[in-house]
Amino acid sequence: MDPGNENSATQAAVIVHLDPDFAPQSRPRSCTWPLPRPELASQPSEPPEVEPGLGEKAIESAPEKRLTLAQIYEWMVRTVPYFKDKGDSNSSAGWKNSIRHNLSLHSKFIKVHNEATGKSSWWMLNPEGGKSGKAPRRRAASMDNSSKLLRGRSRAPKKKPAVLPAPPEAATSKSPVGPFAKWSGSPGSRNREEAEVWTTFRPRSSSNASTVSTRLSPMRPESEVLAEEEMAASVSSYAGGVPPTVKEGLELLDGLNLASPHSLLSQSSLSGFSLQHPGLPGPLHTYSTSLFSPAEGSLSAGEGCFSSSQSLEALLTSDTPPPPADVLMTQVDPILSQAPTLLLLGGVPSSSKLATGGGLYPKPPEAPGPSSLVPSLSMLAPPPLMADAPLAKSLGDPMLTPPTDATSQDKMPQDLDLDMYLENLECDMDNIISDLMDGGEGLDFNFEPDP
């Protein structure tokens, strides 16, 4: 719930669990808060009952507020006396597994793609606070058979081999027949793009926007980072970072679409954000908390709404890729905004989102709270108001003021398209909204909502 909620934050904080051999005989099943900070514990001999938020701490301790799994491990070993001697593969399996498990499980943590380094993803704290509990990831809750099947991974049944072998759908997902075949799958059906989309989109990381704005770019050498940040800052205020790769761009896009409200609003506020974040990490934190604090809902998501300006149809058919990547992409990354844009937009990502219902629609502003974490239909709710003008405004900089006419042809994919894009946004939203309004139920978004 309330993201900022102390409680949830605290609870979510528990990401590290001790491995079996480590667990004290009487180790409480659940931790009690607050606990002495393990790292402060002077007696390694006395294993921390449970690391309250070690993972969180680890991440927070990072200047960039993000760490890779390996770094988290490292942090543990280095910082927590108990783990000092548990860094080897033998004794670390358990707790590492737990860490991974928790990172994945708790909405408190969000994963940010880290491609540039070819390394594992960054793990960050969910600016919204996430949930301490299991992430409200798509669940079987309202899952019907089909979705279950779809969702079911082709994973071999475990202890019940007797179960249905492999749902036909599974096969389907693996071998898309048509261009859209893959979309039929739910997040569960993992195929590259989809998986990508989903993982990024996972409710857990409901604040994709934040993620995005926070800078998806992988950690790099300071110098590099600085350079990039500088550039990003100057180039675009709201583009938290420049996606180094297409893939990342994908995620970015995804994030935008999905969390559009946020992203948008982040845009509006981002300008401010970026201003303060050009330097380094520090600000990020601030930004994230304040910006996304649902409580402060003031960020009227209203403004944000369009992110995915494209109507379904447009998305599916358009050969003039309207850069839903929106502003972000458009102005941020020249590289991305080009070919990749096309690819991204016209291709799977956007559509898959549609299919899953994940994207396109911004969350309603009013519910940043608990429900906000859920990729439920609420996301589909039409943005209260659109920011056609506001959009530009929020984006607000010269760059955005599109050239009077982005006359077709060889325009640079970047800025020029924006104009058209914006236009499209408006009507598309209408389309989308109306679609939802009248045919809403018919739509099968396949996303598994909520709590």
Partner DNA sequence: TTGAGTAAACATT
Partner DNA sequence: AATGTTTACTCAA
Size of the site for DNA (CB under 7 A): 58
Among residues 34, 36, 157, 403, which is the contact residue for DNA, using CB under 7 A? Answer: 157
Q: Which helix (H) or strand (E) holds 109?
A: strand 109-112
Q: Please report whether residue 57 would count as binding DNA according to CB under 7 A.
A: no
Q: Please report whether residue 188 would count as binding DNA according to CB under 7 A.
A: yes
Burial 410-441, CB ≥16 within 10 A → b, else e: ebebbbbbbbbbbebbeebbebbbebbeeeee
Distance of closest approach, residue 92 Cβ to DNA, in angstroms: 9
Of residues 75 through 134, those in contact with DNA by CB under 7 A are 89, 94, 96-98, 100-105, 111, 114, 118, 120-121, 123, 132-134
Q: Which stretch binds DNA (CB under 7 A): 182-190, 217-225, 294-302, 336-344?
A: 182-190
Identify whether the C-beta of residue 213 lies closer than 8 Å to the C-beta of residue 266.
yes
Name the burial class of residue 332, with classes exposed (0-12), middle (13-18) and buried (19+) by CB atoms within 10 angstroms of its CB.
buried
Identify whether the C-beta of residue 373 lies closer than 8 Å to the C-beta of residue 449.
no
Closer residue to DNA in complex, CB, 94/278: 94
Q: Give me the residue label for tokens 């994963």.
A: 111
Closer residue to DNA in complex, CB, 18/258: 18
Nearest CA among 326, 333, 366, 350 for reference residue 243: 333
Closer residue to DNA in complex, CB, 96/363: 96
Among residues 155, 234, 280, 282, which is the contact residue for DNA, using CB under 7 A? Answer: 155
Q: Please report whether residue 69 would count as binding DNA according to CB under 7 A.
A: yes
Q: What is the DSSP letter of 178?
A: S
Q: Please report whether residue 14 would count as binding DNA according to CB under 7 A.
A: yes
Q: Please report whether residue 19 would count as binding DNA according to CB under 7 A.
A: yes
Distance of closest approach, residue 212 Cβ to DNA, in angstroms: 16
Burial 334-354, CB ≥16 within 10 A → b, else e: ebbbeebbbebbbbbbbbbbb
Q: Please report whether residue 17 would count as binding DNA according to CB under 7 A.
A: yes
Q: Please report whether residue 445 would count as binding DNA according to CB under 7 A.
A: no
Q: Is the peptide bond before 28 cis (omega within 30 degrees of 0)?
A: no
Of residues 208 through 227, those in contact with DNA by CB under 7 A are none
Q: Please report whether residue 281 would count as binding DNA according to CB under 7 A.
A: no
Among residues 68, 266, 331, 372, which is the contact residue for DNA, using CB under 7 A? Answer: 68
Closer residue to DNA in complex, CB, 94/396: 94
Distances (CA, A) of 414 to 328, 336, 395, 417, 445: 10, 9, 14, 6, 30
Q: Please report whether residue 154 would count as binding DNA according to CB under 7 A.
A: yes
Residues 6+ apart with CB under 8 A from 287: 213, 214, 273, 276, 277
Beta-bridge partners for 134: 106
Q: Strand order of the sheet with strand 109-112?
A: 66-68, 122-125, 109-112
Q: Please report whether residue 303 would count as binding DNA according to CB under 7 A.
A: no
Distance of closest approach, residue 214 Cβ to DNA, in angstroms: 16
Q: Which stretch binds DNA (CB under 7 A): 68-76, 302-310, 353-361, 375-383?
A: 68-76
For the four alpha carbons of 68, 69, 74 and 76, in that order, the dihedral sign comes to: positive
Q: What is the Cα–Cα distance from 299 to 135, expressed in whole angstroms?
A: 24
Among residues 117, 144, 153, 280, which is the contact residue for DNA, using CB under 7 A? Answer: 153
Q: Please report whether residue 11 would count as binding DNA according to CB under 7 A.
A: yes
Other beta carbons less than 10 A from residue 145's beta carbon: 9
Among residues 3, 9, 38, 50, which is the contact residue for DNA, using CB under 7 A? Answer: 50
Beta-bridge partners for 230: none
Distance of closest approach, residue 240 Cβ to DNA, in angstroms: 19
Task: Enumerate binding residues for DNA (CB under 7 A).
Answer: 11, 14, 17-20, 23, 28-31, 50, 68-70, 73, 89, 94, 96-98, 100-105, 111, 114, 118, 120-121, 123, 132-134, 137, 140, 151-160, 187-188, 190-192, 195-196, 198-199, 202
